[in-house]
Chains A and B, each alone.
Chain A
């Protein structure tokens, strides 16, 4: 079980949180102008790396707010958590 640093509440147990999939997959600004291929890409395709992954979490049993996390998918090492709208931390930070 992970120990997660909520950007608003601080460190809490993983059981307080829910997972939200890959981060930084923006909803297209004007979906009607997006091609079928690009729309399918948005709907169905997500990265599944072995290693660093930027992903969304929500503190569902706490402040109920969303945030992003940089996590290693094999070691579960958490490199950073940051608020929505903030850029992901650069490598090494």
Chain B
């Protein structure tokens, strides 16, 4: 309920919102959490495993319980912490993880079955029978588990990113961060201050405070205003630093429109991802209060003391009429009293300590709050809200039950060391504070404030100033050193779990990790089962593995583990802190890199013609290549049948622009090719081309292609489409790192040339129409040569090379003429049956000839000899990979070799990648009794020219097995295929030169 006159909310700005379908009202400055509590809504969620009723535990980023689904439709975002959602008019949120509703959750039956839902339950239970996991267990578990629901429509919002360099990055605008920013900012240092809340202040907003005789919140507002006027300071609010990486690289996400509601700020990116590179960093990330484990410590109405104080002080919200506090330290004690000062509802402070300071005793007495010393809360009672607590002396007999409607808990403080730890900083355990503090870090980072154990306001401010002074000195500014204050004592008596103090077994569940429903009993069970490492126990029990990454649970969990192992907490150590500190949406990470902007799309100059003529495209790397050109009613099969028939009987035309092209120049160019290709290049005449194979030093095929000699010291190399960049990098690597003495320069010219391949028996006729001035006779222009001349009125370079076995000419013109030439070719080819074809027909035609494709017939384990290219390997000269051809593994028998396969059933197109077996009698599916694989299918098509399906395959000793039968897997059957020569079509090569 709301406290009259209290809080920093704007009561002149009432805001209507909806929670679980209920219409409620809050005020400007509220969070969803504070607005719900103001409306007496304490039950906000159901727990993950047992579906227990849960309420708000905290008021900040560490909230484990109050996860909500915000908004509906494409804007929806799951699993947001209600404590961090700023209220806006019309906000619509609902609880996650409830079926059918948060008030009545059918799955709470899991709570009754909880004795079997213990640590490792899933590992132990769902193993057998085999096969049940996928069909029965997993779908049921997935339905029951999981938190919110992912949006099922494309995200309509935009997101952007910013890269920012600065001298100093300060994380956290509480008292320590603000004082550091003021000092650095006034010195002119290029500073960024990042704060996750909407305004500066941190604890100054959450507790009553006084600085320089005035209200601490006012001081924070003035400091923020001054920082905003400084041109060298960037102060980002609503921005969470979630990752701290190497070399002071930090990432943050800024929520730019979340506080306005969806669709309210068109043209503004919803979130912005910041990439910071900072010379120095000051972390002032504060601390999280820690719960104490006792029976039913998860009931709604049980909150951390600082959360209660925040709701009262910042939001003017009281948690009920009769409150009890349960503490073990001065910090929590004081927070309880500060809450009472605003809410006037605290009845009793149960303090496990036997003595308190005179000052706190007096403050309690003045406030009329009783203290029960040396006592503990053992069990809380209630259903959807706490109704009473059992209180006992910390040791010994006796128990009273006290009615209450809320309970404040403080078990100490955990400095928020997450970012420091991500930065590879080490931690040290402070026995007095019973917490981990930052120790040393090799990155250029300072820590200040509560993170550094300076919890009191004065020491936090002094510590921030001292950290700034050290940073300024490191940046080369002359600045007087400031003496850092000592660590504050909390007068804390360590207390992790009440059960640990009591001899009798306490009733109820004792939660350590609220979000993953991990209890103290789960951790003790893991310990009994032999888990010793904190990392293993974490994974076995799932402590700290929920979306809150255990901000309220990790230290308690490892303290309980340490106790059960009779070890100290530092001996057990912490688990690893990893980014992100709080969850980040994929939208924010993707930024503008979505859809067509996620990767460049490369199109050839002829692309518009392909589109106009109905091409179906295939992605080859980043390139769009026509896959086939269907005519009305044709599917892939029919189109390819027509295209391949044209190719073999009349003529086809293909856009071959995407093949990689590298211009290689220099006095040593021929020598260089000699070293990188397996065959010889020095004697290749100018005007001729040669097919070349490239290997890695291990002798395995890397790439292939045709290279032409343009002049004595200049070659044009072609590569496979997908390998163009890799091959250029490869050439550069050898030139720069191994052979710097060679005078050779390489540059990519792939996009400078457009290539039109005219293929088929009528190709010569078509070229004669296009280039009457050139001599296309076989004698004047033989296979594997090129000629320059005017083609279709354009200066062109024509190569007589073939990837289909047919007479073929590849016409290269500067790319800006590519479309013009293509259209002229189409026009000239009309009387001669010229048919445009795509990559599928190209594949069928090349496979019919047994030509390999890199990455299809080769996979990095295949030598030139394995794929029948031994003829292209020089016996004389040395080249990259040659030494490996005399290694035992490449000379042995039993290597897989390229063969052709013809199925008995001519309609059977085997799946590429299918394994092949020799003995069909043995079931190939039994790993013990089955027939071993003797190879696999690398390419498989239907050939209209062969009137049969056919395949290429790599088979052990395959070249010696021509004529034998192998069996390919077809569903649950085996299909017989005959091993044949990999050249299926025109084995004599008669078609290459044409017939005219």
Contacts and interface: CB of A to CB of B under 8 A. Distances in A.
A43 interface: yes
A64 B729 CA distance: 8
Contacts of B882: 31-32
A2 B736 CA distance: 24
B277 interface: yes
Contacts of B698: 43-44
Interface string B944-961: 000000000000000000
B887 A36 contact: yes
Nearest to B247: A3
Contacts of A13: 277
B733 A34 contact: no
Contact of B887 (A28, A40, A56): A40
A87 interface: no
A64 B732 contact: yes
Interface string B215-252: 00000000000000000000000000000011101000
Given A31-B882, A32-B878, A43 B246 contact: no
Contacts of B697: 27, 42-43
Interface in B687-736: 697-698, 729, 732-733, 736
Given A31-B883, A43-B697, A76-B247, A84 B442 contact: no
A2 B737 contact: no
Nearest to B424: A75
A85 interface: yes
Contact of B736 (A32, A34, A66, A75): A66
Contact of B729 (A26, A42, A60, A75): A60
A75 B698 CA distance: 33
Contacts of B245: 1
A42 B887 CA distance: 13
Interface residues of B, number: 23
Interface string A19-41: 01000001110111010100110
Contact of A66 (B277, B424, B737): B737
Contacts of B729: 58, 60
Interface string B732-746: 110011101000000
Nearest to B251: A1
A27 B738 contact: yes
A2 B249 CA distance: 8
B610 to A, nearest CB: 31
A76 B246 contact: yes
Chain A: interface size category: 20 to 34
A87 B732 CA distance: 21
B533 interface: no
A39 B883 contact: yes
Nearest to A85: B740
Nearest to A75: B442
B887 A1 contact: no
B884 interface: yes
Given A20-B733, A34-B883, A84 B888 contact: no
A18 to B, nearest CB: 8
A31 B249 CA distance: 44
Nearest to B277: A3
Interface in B429-482: 442
A66 B729 CA distance: 10
A58 B442 CA distance: 27
A64 B543 CA distance: 47
Interface in B377-433: 424
B733 A58 contact: yes
Contacts of B887: 36, 39-40
Among B733, B738, B883, the most chain A Cβ lie within 10 Å of the Cβ of: B883
A79 B740 CA distance: 25
A41 B630 CA distance: 54
Contacts of A34: 883
Contact of A65 (B424, B442, B736, B878): B736
A16 interface: no
Nearest to B699: A43
A64 B249 CA distance: 24
A39 to B, nearest CB: 5
Contact of B740 (A1, A40, A58, A84): A84
Contact of B888 (A28, A36, A65): A36
A7 B738 CA distance: 18
Contact of B733 (A3, A66, A77): A66
Contact of A43 (B442, B878, B884): B884
Interface string B124-167: 00000000000000000000000000000000000000000000
Contacts of A42: 697
A44 B884 CA distance: 12
Contact of B247 (A1, A30, A36, A44): A1
A55 to B, nearest CB: 12
Nearest to B736: A66
Contacts of B878: 30-32
Interface in B876-919: 878, 882-884, 886-888
A75 B444 CA distance: 13
Nearest to A20: B733
A76 B738 CA distance: 27
Contacts of B738: 26-27
Nearest to B698: A43
A19 B247 CA distance: 18
A85 B736 CA distance: 10
A20 B734 CA distance: 12
Interface in B829-887: 878, 882-884, 886-887
A42 B733 CA distance: 17
Contacts of A31: 878, 882-883
A58 B731 CA distance: 13
Contacts of A65: 736
A33 B442 CA distance: 48
Given A36-B888, A39-B887, A75-B424, A84 B737 contact: yes
Contacts of B886: 36
A3 B245 CA distance: 11
Contacts of B740: 84-85
Residue among B277, B736, B886 with most chain A CB within 10 A:
B736
Contacts of B736: 65-66, 84
A77 B737 contact: no
Contacts of B888: 36
A84 B734 CA distance: 12
A8 to B, nearest CB: 11
A31 B883 CA distance: 6
Contact of B737 (A39, A44, A56): A56
A31 B882 CA distance: 8
Interface in B265-303: 277
A67 to B, nearest CB: 9
Nearest to B880: A27
A32 B732 contact: no
A3 B248 CA distance: 9
A13 B736 CA distance: 22
A12 B729 CA distance: 20
A58 B726 CA distance: 13
Nearest to A1: B249
B674 to A, nearest CB: 14
Interface in A59-87: 60, 64-66, 75-77, 84-85
A34 B697 CA distance: 13
A85 B698 CA distance: 24
A77 to B, nearest CB: 7
A60 B249 CA distance: 21
Contacts of A84: 736-737, 740
A77 B738 CA distance: 27
10 smallest CB-CB distances across A and B, nearest first, come from: A31-B883, A3-B247, A76-B246, A66-B736, A1-B249, A27-B738, A66-B737, A84-B737, A43-B698, A39-B883
22 contacts: A2-B247, A3-B277, A20-B733, A27-B697, A28-B883, A31-B882, A31-B883, A34-B883, A36-B886, A39-B883, A43-B697, A43-B698, A43-B884, A58-B729, A60-B729, A66-B733, A66-B737, A75-B424, A76-B247, A77-B442, A84-B736, A85-B740
